[in-house]
């Protein structure tokens, strides 16, 4: 196929060139009705591309023209049978995969470090989750991969499970052995569903871990905005049939209509069309640049006394089959500094913004669009922080207690869907231990639920979350206030 084309961009441009008398939605009438307070800063031209369904611009929910052509080019680039544009982020793609793979009461294996959108999919589908645990990379205080052995044991205990849902690569760039896992899933007539939100670029450089589709996944979702140049909220869903439960794959488009807006944003879809074009034309060079920038920074960071930066040395440890070299996981643990404090100091030292912080690390995501100046600012700020050590006067910023590990899996008393529609009550957080949660609770980032709806809040779980709450960390589902309440299943 001719990847040197942008069918949706070209279709909208052709529509604009007709100089239409516009009586359609949206109301801003192409580039004429946006507030001048905004256009005085950014100009007007881009707003003309915020259109709706027209004879030129196709229909996302029943594509026959430019959108279908753009999605077909995307599928060809990634080696998929069919690909879909998503305008509600990877969240809606995960929900659609869940809805398509397992029905109410059926079992589905889910990695416990799955994003909270997996739980949302279970609320919609009614499927019963069976959790599989990732390994732990103790040296860095983060989770490793899901091992094939864990997957094999899970299917032995739950032979009727309809699918396995996992994240690879994860936020930190850690990838599981998807090729072996896919073989196990298919041997049990089960689908492999991969949240590849952080891996849309995996397919364009030999140094990056193998992409999910290449490894044998039946469906995967990618957040194209994270590292490949599309606008925020722009994602894609890919399907590749391996002769396993093909009736489920046929339901994906129908289920996408349940979870996607009926007013899809054409700026987002155009950005997907153009991001695909850039990857097709320049993907290898883009990834090479990102890797070179990250490699240079990693070497410089490792020369700073007391600072560590994770690399390929963790491969084949803790279930890790590969690591995305464009991710910089940085730790000042040896100097007694928390990741939260390092993030704060980077921001205050030279406006260095990192993606996330955890108890031990910060994560910096490097892309082809970063510059040498960006990398120099990161390394220089780290060097200055480690020399001045401004955190040492703050007890909160120092590593003063054992690194927190995820607690053991709590008891599952009902499915997420059953819990969601049960009668509930709000009680004080201090009294929540021992009760069944009616909501998801997840420290954010990275958005991994510690408690799912329908699970009992054990004492260990309560202590873990209370430590985050007392430290005023951001938690979805639980406020940091002293008077925090939580929604529980009514007894």
Residue 226 belongs to what H/E stretch? helix 224-227
Count H helices and E strands in the chain, helices first: 16, 19
Residue-level pLDDT at 262: 94
Cα 106 versus chain centre, distance: 25
**d(C-alpha 19, C-alpha 29), whole Å:** 11
Q: Tell me what pLDDT residue 491 has.
A: 86
d(CA 107, CA 122): 10
The neighbour count for residue 38, using CB atoms within 10 Å, is 11
Burial (CB < 10 A; 0-12, 13-18, 19+), residue 448, is buried
**35: pLDDT strictly greater than 90:** yes
Q: What is the pLDDT of residues 441-481, one digit of tens each?
A: 987 656 678 999 999 999 999 998 988 888 777 788 886 66
Show the domains of the chain with their CATH numbers: 284-393 (3.90.1150.10), 416-489 (3.90.100.10)
Structure tokens, 90: 């990877």
pLDDT above 90: residue 400: no
pLDDT band at 374 (very low <50, low <70, confident <90, very high): very high
Other Cβ atoms within 10 Å of 225 Cβ, number: 21
Beta bridge partners of 336: none
Q: How many angstroms separate the CA atoms of 208 and 321, rounded?
A: 11
Report the C-alpha gap between 128 and 121 in whole angstroms: 11
Residue appearing with tokens 């007694």: 336
**Position 407 confidence tier, pLDDT thresholds 50, 70, 90:** confident
Look at residues 145, 171, 138 and name the one whose alpha carbon lies nearest to residue 326. 171
pLDDT above 80: residue 123: yes
The Cα–Cα gap between 453 and 412 comes to 9
* pLDDT for residue 403 is more than 50: no
Locate 98 and state its tokens: 């869940």
Place of tokens 């073989």: 183
Length of the chain: 491
Mark out the alpha helices in 436-476 (DSSP H runs): 459-470
Q: Are 332 and 340 in contact (CB under 8 A)?
A: no
Are 337 and 399 contacting, i.e. CB atoms less than 8 angstroms apart? Answer: yes
d(CA 94, CA 220): 8
Instruction: Tokens for 426, please give them.
Output: 């709000």
Cα distances from 215 to residues 80, 98, 108, in angstroms, run: 12, 20, 20
Buried b (16+ CB within 10 A) or exposed e, 400-419: eeeebebbeebebebbbbbb
The answer to whether the CB of 285 falls within 8 A of the CB of 111 is: no
Say yes or no to pLDDT of 246 above 50.
Answer: yes
pLDDT value of position 388: 87
Spatial distance between the Cα atoms of 240 and 214, rounded to a whole number of angstroms: 9
User: Which positions ≥6 away from 16 have C-beta within 8 Å?
Assistant: 30, 48, 49
Strand partners, 24: none
Q: Helix 66-78 crosses helix 266-302 at what angle (to 10 degrees)?
A: 30
User: What would the two tokens of residue 244 be?
Assistant: 């396993």
pLDDT tens column, 259-303? 999 999 999 999 999 999 999 999 999 999 999 999 999 999 999
Q: In a 3-state reduction of DSSP, which class is residue 345?
A: helix
Element spanning 194, H or E: strand 191-195
Q: For 300-352, write each residue's pLDDT tens digit.
A: 999 999 999 999 999 999 999 999 999 999 999 999 998 989 999 999 999 99
* Separation between Cα atoms, residue 366 and residue 372, nearest integer Å: 11
- Two tokens, residue 120: 């949302």
Report the chain's mean pLDDT, rounded to a whole number. 93
**CB within 8 A of 56, min separation 6: which ones?**
11, 12, 14, 15, 18, 65, 66
What Cα–Cα distance (Å) separates residue 101 from each residue in 125, 150, 157, 165, 459?
9, 21, 19, 10, 34
């Amino acid at each position: 196929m001719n990847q040197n084309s942008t069918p949706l961009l070209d279709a909208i441009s052709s529509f604009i060139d007709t100089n239409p008398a516009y009586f359609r939605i949206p109301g801003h009438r192409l580039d004429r009705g946006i507030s001048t307070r905004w256009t005085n800063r950014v100009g007007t031209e881009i707003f003309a591309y915020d259109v709706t369904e027209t004879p030129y611009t196709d229909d996302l929910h029943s594509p026959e023209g430019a959108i279908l052509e753009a999605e077909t080019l995307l599928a060809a680039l990634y080696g998929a049978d069919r690909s879909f544009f998503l305008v509600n982020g990877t969240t809606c793609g995960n929900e659609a995969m869940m809805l398509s793979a397992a029905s109410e009461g059926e079992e589905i294996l889910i990695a416990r470090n799955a994003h909270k959108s997996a739980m949302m999919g279970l609320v919609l589908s009614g499927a019963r989750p069976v959790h599989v645990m990732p390994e732990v990379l103790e040296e860095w205080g983060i989770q490793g991969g899901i091992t094939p052995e864990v997957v094999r044991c899970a299917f032995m205990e739950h032979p009727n499970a309809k699918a396995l849902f996992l994240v690879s690569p994860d936020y930190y760039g850690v990838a599981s052995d998807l090729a072996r896992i896919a073989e196990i899933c298919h041997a049990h007539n089960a689908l492999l569903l991969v949240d590849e939100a952080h891996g849309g670029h995996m397919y364009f450089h030999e140094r990056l871990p193998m992409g999910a589709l290449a490894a044998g996944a039946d469906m995967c979702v990618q957040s194209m905005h994270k590292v490949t140049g599309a606008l925020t909220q722009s994602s894609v869903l890919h399907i590749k049939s391996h002769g396993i439960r093909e009736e489920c794959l046929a339901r994906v488009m129908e289920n996408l209509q349940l979870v996607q807006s009926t007013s899809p944003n054409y700026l987002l879809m155009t950005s997907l069309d153009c991001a695909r074009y850039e990857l097709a034309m320049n993907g290898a060079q883009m990834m090479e640049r990102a890797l070179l920038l990250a490699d240079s920074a990693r070497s410089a960071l490792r020369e700073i006394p007391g600072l560590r930066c994770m690399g390929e040395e963790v491969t084949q440890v803790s279930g890790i089959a590969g690591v995305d070299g464009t991710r910089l996981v940085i730790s000042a643990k040896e100097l007694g500094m928390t990741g939260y404090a390092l993030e704060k100091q980077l921001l205050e030292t030279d406006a260095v913004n990192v993606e996330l912080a955890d108890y031990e690390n910060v994560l910096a995501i490097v892309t082809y669009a970063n510059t040498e100046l960006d990398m120099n600012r990161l390394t220089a700020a780290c060097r200055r922080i480690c020399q001045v050590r401004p955190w040492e006067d703050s007890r909160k910023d120092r590593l003063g207690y054992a690194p927190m590990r995820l607690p053991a899996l709590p008891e599952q008393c009902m499915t997420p869907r059953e819990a969601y529609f049960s009668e509930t009550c709000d009680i004080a957080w201090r009294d929540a231990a021992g009760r069944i949660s009616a909501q998801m609770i997840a420290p954010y980032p990275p958005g991994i639920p510690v408690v799912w709806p329908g699970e009992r809040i054990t004492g260990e779980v309560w202590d873990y979350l209370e430590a985050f709450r007392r430290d005023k960390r951001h938690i979805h589902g639980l406020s940091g206030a002293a008077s925090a309440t939580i929604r529980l299943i009514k007894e």
